[in-house]
């Protein structure tokens, strides 16, 4: 039985993977989370967290105020949350080459190539922190990054803009689509998936139309919005299963 956690800026989602079936344990505030206090039996744990890892070391957490207590003697893997979402995307869509984007507080990016997570020197992806113009200050310390325009913290009233659909008419959404198109040209993924509290509620047909217009026809991938708020926690558990498998 493998515990899967998604430690985000506000909430921590908890699932348990037991013989290929997921049990949802729910969500608690990250500020109140402590792994020692969790009354769930588990053999290993996969933790997806909104942190940048370079060569396995945490280097920055632009959207996380404080990292909760996550020490344990059980086998554990710690991975960037968007990379866990990418792993979940590849496993649930059955695709081997995936570009996965989470849009919640910030923008996270995960890349799967030939069924394996691609991390470069650790930080590969991070499309949210590419320069798109202007002088808006980013949470990472930079300026003019995509996340300064299209993210939960930048949009502010994202929930109502999704409900009245005004989000699709914004310059920010166009900037986002341009950035996705550029990433498609670089990676030639079979599928692009969207998740997170905002990304998981975007309109799949509009994304497909807007982004496909920006890439040559032969590059056009599938587009899938994954409406599962536990996708990162599930991906973390799957990753722990596959990486740690033989150790417990
Ligand atoms: Zn940035």
Domain ranges of the chain: 2-81+230-247, 84-225
pLDDT of residue 208: 98
Predicted TM-score (pTM) of this structure: 0.95
Q: 247 pLDDT exceeds 70? A: no
Q: What does the pLDDT read at residue 29?
A: 94
Please report the pLDDT score of residue 63 as a whole number. Answer: 79
pLDDT at 156: 86
d(CA 63, ligand 1 centre) in Å: 10
> Ligand 1 centroid vs 172 CA: distance in angstroms?
15
Q: Measured in angstroms, how far is the CA atom of residue 62 from the centroid of ligand 1?
A: 8
Dist. CA 5 → ligand 1 center (Å): 25
Residues contacting residue 42 through CB under 8 Å, at least 6 positions apart: 1, 2, 3, 16, 74
Per-residue pLDDT of 101-153, as tens digits, reads: 999 989 999 999 999 999 999 999 999 999 999 999 999 999 999 999 999 99
- Centroid of ligand 1 to alpha carbon of 138 (angstroms): 5
Reported as a pLDDT band with limits 50, 70 and 90, residue 64 is confident
**What is the whole-number distance in angstroms between the Cα of residue 70 and the centre of ligand 1?**
26
Percentage of the chain surpassing pLDDT 70? 99
Asked if domains 2-81+230-247 and 84-225 share a fold, the reply is yes
Distance 77 CA to ligand 1 centre (A): 25
CATH of 84-225, one of 3.30.110.30, 3.30.420.40, 3.40.718.10, 3.40.50.2000: 3.30.420.40
pLDDT at 248: 62
pLDDT of residue 6: 96
- The residues near 231 (Cβ < 8 Å, ≥ 6 apart) are 85, 88, 89, 195, 200
- Centroid of ligand 1 to alpha carbon of 129 (angstroms): 4
Domain 2-81+230-247, classified CATH 1.10.645.10, yes or no: no
Residue 110: predicted pLDDT: 98
Q: How far is the CA of 175 from the centre of ligand 1 (A)?
A: 15
What integer pLDDT is reported at residue 227 of this predicted model?
Answer: 94
pLDDT at 246 over 80: no
Question: Which value, to the nearest 10 degrees, does the dihedral of the CA atoms of residues 44, 236, 83, 248 take?
Answer: 30
Whole-number pLDDT of residue 115: 95
Per-residue pLDDT tens over the stretch 51-61: 999 998 989 88
Mean pLDDT, to the nearest integer, of 180-197?
97
For ligand 1, the distance from its centroid to the CA atom of residue 140, given in whole angstroms, is 4
Q: How far is the CA of 141 from the centre of ligand 1 (A)?
A: 6
Burial group, residue 135, by CB count within 10 angstroms (0-12, 13-18, 19+)? exposed
CA 152 to chain centre: 13
pLDDT at 197 over 80: yes
Q: What is the chain's Cα-based Rg?
A: 17
Q: How much distance in Å is there from the Cα of 208 to the middle of ligand 1?
A: 26
Q: If you measure from the C-alpha of residue 139 to the centroid of ligand 1, how many angstroms do you get, rounded to a whole number?
A: 6
Separation of CA 236 and ligand 1 centre (Å): 24
**Taking residues 15-31, what's their average pLDDT?**
94
Cα(186) to ligand 1 centroid in Å equals 20
């Amino acid at each position: 039985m493998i515990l899967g956690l998604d430690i985000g800026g506000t909430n921590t989602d908890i699932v348990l993977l037991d013989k290929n079936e997921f049990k949802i344990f729910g969500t608690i505030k990250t500020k109140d989370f402590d792994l020692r206090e969790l009354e769930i039996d588990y053999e290993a744990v996969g933790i997806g967290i909104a942190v940048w890892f370079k060569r396995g070391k945490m280097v920055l957490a632009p959207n996380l105020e404080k990292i909760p207590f996550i020490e344990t003697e059980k086998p554990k893997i710690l991975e960037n949350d968007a990379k866990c979402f990418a792993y979940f995307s590849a496993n649930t869509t059955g695709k081997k080459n995936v570009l996965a984007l989470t849009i919640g507080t910030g923008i996270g990016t995960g890349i799967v190539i030939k069924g394996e997570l691609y991390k470069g020197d650790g930080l590969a992806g991070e499309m949210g922190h590419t320069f798109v113009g202007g002088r808006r200050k980013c949470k990472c310390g930079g300026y003019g990054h995509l996340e300064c325009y299209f993210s939960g913290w930048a949009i502010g009233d994202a929930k109502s803009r999704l409900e009245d659909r005004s989000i699709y008419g914004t310059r920010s959404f166009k900037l986002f689509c341009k950035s996705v198109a550029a990433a498609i040209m670089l990676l030639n993924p079979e599928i692009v998936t969207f998740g997170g509290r905002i990304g998981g509620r975007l309109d799949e047909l509009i994304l497909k139309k807007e982004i496909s217009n920006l890439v040559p026809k032969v590059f056009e991938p599938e587009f899938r919005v994954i409406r599962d708020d536990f996708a990162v926690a599930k991906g973390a558990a799957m990753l722990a299963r596959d990486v740690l498998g033989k150790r417990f």
